[in-house]
Chains A and B, each alone.
Chain A
Amino acid sequence: MVVKAVVLFITVVIGLYLVIMIANMGGHLDDVRRAEIRLGVATGVYMNPANQGLGSAALKQLTEALVVVQYRRYGLDRPFWIRSIDYLVTAITLDLGRAEYISSDSGSKEVRRILAERLPPTLILFGTASLVLFFGALAVALFLSRRYGSILDKTVIGLAPLSAAPGWFYGLFLILTFAAVLRVLPWGGMVKAPPPKDTLEYALSMIQHMILPVSAISISVFFASVYSWRTFFLIYSSEDYVELARAKGLSSRALQRRYILRPTLPTIITSFMLMMITTWMGQIILETVFNWPGLGRQYLTAVNLNDTPVIVGTLVIFAYLLAGTLFLLDFIYAIVDPRVRVAGGRR
């Protein structure tokens, strides 16, 4: 478990370093900044009426002195590779600095505050979608594995190619159908405006706003997972111990739960884990389509505004969330599979 955590952490660090390198164009951005500073300082010095009487050599000298001060102020006097390590450390420790253009709803320019406001909506949407998907697909897959070859089974399996398109793609259709034409569900956002004061009403409004995005994610992932999980169930139900359990006289419910679902669960969790990674990636556009005030939409806004601290900050949070998801699922995996648990711990 510790090893796993360390490996995940190293992955995050490498990923972040690459992001920092790219966001700074491999150090080229420093040259741009130096040139900008030099231009600014020089303009200031030459245009300053107080400097009118100085000769060109003195002006040059003054400019150079001020440029050095400015370089030091921005840390540009040090080579880029040292600065890149600094960036990395501040990113990993979530010391995300100040945004250039974007500010939080409460008016703060602290990137940390901005992201803290955006994180809960993303977690709520992603968490709900994951739970709905996991248990929904699990139940349907188990059901279909028992009715293997039936018309229902063939229909659901036939729908598996729907997963070729990402969630936001279906989001557009859902919005068109349920918001534009039928007018039964909201177009987007997280709660109605103005937000209800009552907690229960607030929650209900949020659920109402969540129906479409959750459905969009589900449509894109549900059928493919049902397809593969049903196949896992079919494979595992032909194991000898399932037949033996049937011979033992277990009721079909107990048989399903203890002898088919339980042994298949580790495999399903692995598949779910891989699926969740793709879903995380789709979150950025999905939130934009549904105007959901989460990290994904924030990221797109930051990219459009070239707000580097916010971009890096969002990516840091995303990296941590992804690693966290993987770690959590690995943990669950160890709980459901004694072979992993015992080998790693007991005795």
Chain B
Amino acid sequence: MENLDKVLRVEDLKLHFRTQRGPVQAVDGVSFELERGLATVVVGESGCGKSTLSRAILRLLPRNIHAYSGKVWLNGIDIMTLGDEQFRRKVRWVQMSLVPQAAMNSLNPVLKVGDQVAEPFLVHGKAANKKDAYDQAREVFRLVGVSTDFLERYPFELSGGMRQRAVLAMALAINPDIVFLDEPTSALDVLTQTNIMNVLKGIKRDLGVTFVLITHDIATSSELADRAAVMYAGQLVELSDAGHFFREPLHPYSQKLMASVPTLREDKELEFIPGQPPSLLDPPRTCRFAERCSLRFGKCDEEPPFKDVGGDRWVKCWLHV
């Protein structure tokens, strides 16, 4: 029997893409658990596979799949074994929803906002008719603090912040267990960002939704995070309780990453990490960070395990074995 406090358990998830130059190991052997009601922030450089990880869990796959394997237990069921139609009916939006990057593009430009927000109720049989769906859509709009007048508008008539909140309302519509937020605030101004973060905090507190927040905006997301995960070159290198992580990251990469975050009114020399992440076409069999790591030693020529080091912390580094 699965422990139901763990809403999601991912085991050795792999997603490799086929390209002309060979397979790209975008997500390679990722394992972790999510506790119900907690928010996890996933950070990492562009191209480290953090978005792809969410797509792999949500089964939003491109055409050029080379390998897609692993186990994903959602509420005690391995959803990787479900057929596409079952996955659509049982998992999509009902249990897991998505808020993509803040952009014009997450809403269909030719359909009214209301039609799009009300759609999940109709698709998943949570509303008897269109009017009922609209009534429920109105409620989620109030929840995220958007005027219900906007339901009758088209996406281009809304500002970026409004659109993003409409998408958030849509994601919360039929009360999913997990909401993946893929850089939900990255194209918005600071005030709107804060505003959305506050809305998210309120929702987490009131509804107990599990959030997975994928971002490279570490400063803003630290507000919401209960746990922090760091990805590097397609792998998870650290997963920690947020409080500990922000104070004292363990993995050398996490340390460098945190040192590169600017802080207000503190005279700190911002650091950067020399070199580049390894190509995911043919990543080294060593620790993937070894080449850029200042703490490298003999053992780093082998791939380290992702290990529980106690205190709700996992690290993939030989220094912590």
A interface, CB within 8 angstroms of B: 148-149, 239-241, 243-251, 254, 258-259, 262-263, 265-266, 336-339, 342
Contacts and interface: CB of A to CB of B under 8 A. Distances in A.
17 contacts: A240-B100, A240-B101, A240-B106, A241-B105, A241-B106, A243-B100, A244-B98, A245-B108, A247-B60, A247-B93, A249-B91, A249-B123, A250-B119, A251-B123, A259-B108, A337-B110, A339-B110
A245 B117 CA distance: 11
Contacts of B170: 248
Contact of B111 (A149, A247, A248, A262): A262
B92 A249 contact: yes
Contacts of B100: 240, 243-244
A338 B92 contact: no
Given A241-B106, A245-B108, A339-B109, 13 more contacts: A148-B63, A149-B63, A240-B105, A247-B97, A248-B119, A248-B123, A249-B93, A249-B120, A249-B124, A263-B109, A339-B110, A339-B156, A342-B157
Contact of A339 (B93, B97, B123, B154): B154
B321 to A, nearest CB: 38
Contact of B106 (A148, A244, A254, A342): A244
B15 interface: no
A342 B112 CA distance: 12
B89 A249 contact: yes
Contacts of B88: 249, 251
- Indicate the member of A250, A265, A266 with the most B CB atoms within 10 Å: A250
Interface residues on B, range: 20 to 34
B105 A247 contact: no
Contacts of A337: 110
Interface of B: 58, 60, 63, 88-89, 91-94, 97-98, 100-101, 103, 105-112, 119-120, 123-124, 154, 156-157, 167, 170
Contacts of B110: 262-263, 265-266, 336-339
Contacts of A265: 110
A251 B111 CA distance: 17
Nearest to B91: A249
A262 B120 contact: no
A258 B111 contact: yes
A243 B91 CA distance: 15
A336 B119 CA distance: 20
